[in-house]
Chains A and B, each alone.
Chain A
Amino acid sequence: MQEHFQHLYEALSQVDGYIYPNEIDLHWGLMIVLYPYITGLVAGAFILASLERVFHVKVLKPTYGLALLTALAFLLVATLPLVSHLQHPFRSYEIFMTPNSTSAMAIFGFVYLWYLMVVLLLEIWFDYRRDFVIWSKSSKGFKKFFYKIITLGINETDEKSAKLDDRLGYFITVIGIPSAFLLHGYVGFIFGSIKANPWWSTVLMPIIFLFSAMVSGIALVMLVYMVVSWVRQVKIDMKCLDTIAKYLLVILIIDFTLESLDQIHRIYEAEESFDIIKVLVSGKLNITLFLMQIGIGTIIPLLVLGLFQFYKPSEKIRKIIYFIIGAFVLIGIFFMRWNVVIGGQLFSKSLSGFTSFNTVYSGMEGSIMGAVWLILPLFILTFLLWLMPPWKKVEFHN
């Protein structure tokens, strides 16, 4: 606690203008930045997978299974930053036991559960069920045990059952698209519904969150596909990669348009809060907003991907550039979350001053914990890929 006070005294000495005395402590830190970031990756990856399934974009086939498993790996971790940020993490079950129907955060718990249990797990299950049966016969040890359990005792591998799996899986994916929209739109609503905070309170917040989620998810799947192909020593399907990049470009344009619209609206209306937001954007957020989010995360990818629509350099160069652009987009979206969550707390609700954010390394809300929550899904993904490799699936339908 003394350390925390020390930290706050430091922040107190950096206060600029007037802030309410209770605002010196930034209540939402890195963990709440990670939470919408990770949830966004899930929603984005899932939507990319759905493109192949529902809209029959056949070129994306090589990434379908990867995208689903990526979504699952990140979804399993999505709530952990939230829990580690709670002051009483052991009371977190209360959100499910006595959810307050008017609270955006409480309903998110159920949206999350719906998405995990009904959409993602089921879709993956239908996709893999037949393979689980086949694999359970050919493998040993833990894998065999896992496959046996997960089949729920259904051992059919005939054409009829496979067709049924496919139909049910398709049905779940159709439900899944609005669910993924709901999942991440809802995360935006958690911020957008706070009328006390003029930086958050905008009706566009859910839809901006949604499109930025799709941007980040697509970029992530692109990177995962490249890394996995490289590790497996297989050739990257350039047609697939080019198509992903094209989708990335389109969604990025929509995302950027929406965010610009939001800002232009703010500037034109110039409400009571505008003066402080102007100072916030040009001062405290100038690096994270203009350089990281807009420059690296948006403008450079837009220009490069846009150029690729007219002029395609050689495959080798394209691969390298796609990799860099994917990483840039992921960094950009991270800072977009940062600018929303941290930026929204840097200025006082009295609209007349600023506090500052000081990085902490240790503790439940420190950067080290943050790194753990970002790396953990990659380990889970590796495990999932080992357990149920999409490339070893037995092809059945065309």
Chain B
Amino acid sequence: MGTNRINKDRRKFFQTSAALIGGTLAFSIIKPLELLAQSKNEVAKDEKTEQPLWGMGVDIEKCIGCGKCVEACKLENNVPREPFYFRTWIEQYTVKKDGDVKIESPNGGIGGLKQSVPDEDIFKSFMVPKLCNHCTDAPCVQACPVGATYISPDGVVLVDETYCIGCSYCIQACPYGARFMNPVTKVADKCTFCYHRISKGLEPACVEVCPTDARIFGNLRDKKSDLVAFMQKHPTEVLKRHLNTSPRVFYNGLSSEVR
């Protein structure tokens, strides 16, 4: 009698566990298939509407180093105020008559850059705004172990804040120093071309506030955009060309001292 009951219980246990395992297995086989079917539809939809390809032009011949873009960027994107976190910053290069190059960017240029070299020693001086270059072959995206940073279909390098594990490998991989570890969210942070603005038809905050129009934002695929006109009119160059990252931020008037 007793053994019989145990056997029954046992059988029941096996039945339930078999059902559970079977169900899980079946579900896990169906799930990826579901995903496949879905993704096909999505791609088809996207192909119809022509995606923009966002890029930026920076005109060194217009930048006055007022730092408005840096301030606006910090405000718009909730970047911590401390002087170690920048999505964009301005560098002032001063080439001295003796050939030395002095580069400065106190607090990223917030509050306006001030010339620290006496006039009589200066050979030439210019301002270089820096930001994420939104590389076509982005080393940071290549390095991210989990797929938490990526190039969006419209060509912007973005970070998935809910997925980033905070390993800093992308920061090491970025040749431009454009990434930082956000001390509040504890994930990698960087310029997004103000993705929340451009997707609503607005300009990035830095472009919006630039008093001299030294930054030109636009769609590289739109042959009538200001950006394309800027690139046609000026000889443009990208930063660290030798690294072959194919940036989508183009500089006019880039001097060889800039690194």
Which residues of A come within 8 Å of B, CB atoms?
A: 1, 4-5, 8, 12, 17-25, 27-28, 82, 85-89, 91-92, 94-95, 97-100, 102-106, 109, 190, 194-197, 345, 348-353
Contact = CB atoms under 8 A, between A and B. Distances in A.
Nearest to B189: A22
Residue among A8, A22, A104, A350 having the largest count of chain B Cβ atoms under 10 Å:
A22
B243 interface: yes
Contacts of A87: 164-168, 181, 186-187
Contact of B139 (A25, A89, A195): A195
B165 A103 contact: no
Contacts of B147: 98, 100
Contact of B172 (A1, A95, A194): A194
27 contacts: A8-B84, A19-B177, A21-B85, A21-B86, A21-B177, A25-B84, A25-B180, A27-B172, A27-B181, A28-B172, A86-B166, A87-B164, A91-B166, A94-B146, A95-B145, A95-B165, A100-B147, A106-B145, A195-B139, A196-B175, A196-B243, A197-B172, A349-B177, A350-B177, A350-B259, A352-B101, A352-B259
Contact of A88 (B141, B166, B172): B166
Contacts, number: 139
A396 to B, nearest CB: 40
Interface stretch (B102-110, B117-125, B212-220): B102-110
A103 B163 CA distance: 16
Given A21-B83, A352-B101, A196 B173 contact: yes
Contact of B145 (A105, A194, A345): A105
A350 B240 CA distance: 10
B180 A22 contact: yes
A18 B84 contact: no
A94 B143 contact: no
Contacts of A24: 83-84
B255 to A, nearest CB: 14
Contact of A196 (B89, B108, B130, B172): B172
Given A87-B187, A103-B169, A22 B86 contact: yes
Contacts of A350: 103, 177, 259
Interface residues on B, range: 35 or more
Interface in B111-164: 130, 139, 141-148, 163-164
Nearest to B185: A87
A349 B99 CA distance: 21
B83 A12 contact: yes
A99 B187 CA distance: 18
Nearest to A20: B177
Interface in B37-85: 82-85
A264 to B, nearest CB: 22
A91 B165 contact: yes
Nearest to B184: A1
Nearest to B93: A18
B39 to A, nearest CB: 15
Contacts of B105: 18, 21
A261 B147 CA distance: 36
